[in-house]
Amino acid sequence: MSRFGNLLMSAILCGCTYTLVAIGYCLFFGVLDVVVFCCGDIAIFGAFSIIGAFTIIWSAGVFQAVPTVVAVLILLIVASILCAVLGLITYRISVKPFEKSSALMPLLSTIALGVVIKEVLGLIFQPVINSMATSVVRVDDPKTVVGGRNPQSMPQLIAAGGSTLTRNLIIIVVVALILLALFFFLNKTKLGLSMQAISQNKELALMTGVNVKSAIRWTFIIGGVLLAIGGFLLGNYQTIIRFDGGTMYGTKGFAAAVVGGLKSTWGAVIGGMLLGFVEVFTAGLVPGGTKFQNVIAFIVVIIFIVFKPEGIIGEKIAEKV
């Protein structure tokens, strides 16, 4: 591939990872009007769930016994369930108790929860998983999965043994499919529509007969699953996962969501891609630009906040009474 092609591929992949986290922010912000800041950490937790589940089912001999696709699906289901539960816990312990207080409280408490998730992953993931796994785990190429605290290497589950191009394309296609599914879900299903309704007018949604409480719970479940898949793709793209990586993804994902308009899913996609493109092209084309890539990315974010505070997709609709 040409140099430009390479950069384009990196930018899209980088954008994909930010997009998935950004969508998490959008969903949660949509139904609750609060920023749930531990989205990045939930995604990282998802990736660690995959590693943990993989290690366990590999040493139990299950992974080798079934076709890889089935095994990967099992892993994804396990991680999705764990992340959905974590999503619910997030809602229950660090959002719901502050329903009636200022929006700063859940912001602070979800930041705190993010730190807890991060530190717990860093401190107890290794010993717990190592005690459950009976053998050192290797996948097709000799690659120890368990060992070292940070970074943690991710089992190569997408296009194992294949070329990186195949893997990258699969990741992009999966992200595209997730976006399509999400679009369908939000616009065609009752739950999706009620989530949109809550996002646009919570009081009216209540009056319309939407079960708001259950819709919020479902949002956290769906958000959790989405972030689990996000963590899985992220890990496979990077080949490793850092337990403390969630903070960075959280911040970037949040920035992408803000650029896109916070309540708009498509805005999150555009915001994520924008951030990915700015970062990668700064690092790839400007000589010595790598150390400035985050600076420039966030300058772009600030410019957007200043000149288009409602977001790229966000529409200025002032509803006067």
Residues that bind other proteins (CB under 8 A): 3, 6-7, 9-10, 14, 141-144, 147-148, 150-151, 153, 164, 190, 193-194, 196-197, 200-201, 203-213, 238-240, 242, 244-245, 248, 279-284, 287-291, 293-294, 315, 317-321
- For the chain, the first-to-last Cα distance in angstroms comes to 57
| Nearer residue to other proteins within complex by CB, 31 or 225 | 31
| Nearer residue to other proteins within complex by CB, 74 or 153 | 153
The Cα-based distances of 45 to 29, 56, 172, 225 in angstroms read: 20, 16, 21, 11
In whole angstroms, the minimum distance from the beta carbon of 81 to other proteins comes to 26
Helix or strand or coil: residue 152? strand
Judge contact between 198 and 212, C-beta under 8 A: yes
In whole angstroms, the minimum distance from the beta carbon of 131 to other proteins comes to 20
Helix or strand or coil: residue 141? strand
d(CA 38, CA 25): 9
| Nearer residue to other proteins within complex by CB, 132 or 285 | 285
Please state the φ and ψ torsions of residue 262, each to the nearest 5 degrees: 55, -35
| Nearer residue to other proteins within complex by CB, 40 or 224 | 40
* DSSP letter assigned to residue 155: P
In whole angstroms, the minimum distance from the beta carbon of 223 to other proteins comes to 20
| Kind plus residue range of the DSSP H or E element containing 240 | strand 240-241
Three-state secondary structure of 106-119: HHHHHHHHHHHHHH
| Nearer residue to other proteins within complex by CB, 151 or 170 | 151
| Nearer residue to other proteins within complex by CB, 89 or 284 | 284
| Nearer residue to other proteins within complex by CB, 74 or 105 | 105
In whole angstroms, the minimum distance from the beta carbon of 77 to other proteins comes to 26
| Nearer residue to other proteins within complex by CB, 127 or 142 | 142
In whole angstroms, the minimum distance from the beta carbon of 208 to other proteins comes to 5
In whole angstroms, the minimum distance from the beta carbon of 276 to other proteins comes to 10
Judge contact between 219 and 210, C-beta under 8 A: no
Judge contact between 197 and 149, C-beta under 8 A: no
d(CA 6, CA 195): 38
In whole angstroms, the minimum distance from the beta carbon of 157 to other proteins comes to 14
Q: Would you state the structure tokens that stand for residue 187, as one six-digit string?
A: 């616009």
246-260 vs 293-307: helix crossing angle, rounded to 10: 30
DSSP code per residue over 65-79? HS-HHHHHHHHHHHH
In whole angstroms, the minimum distance from the beta carbon of 110 to other proteins comes to 22
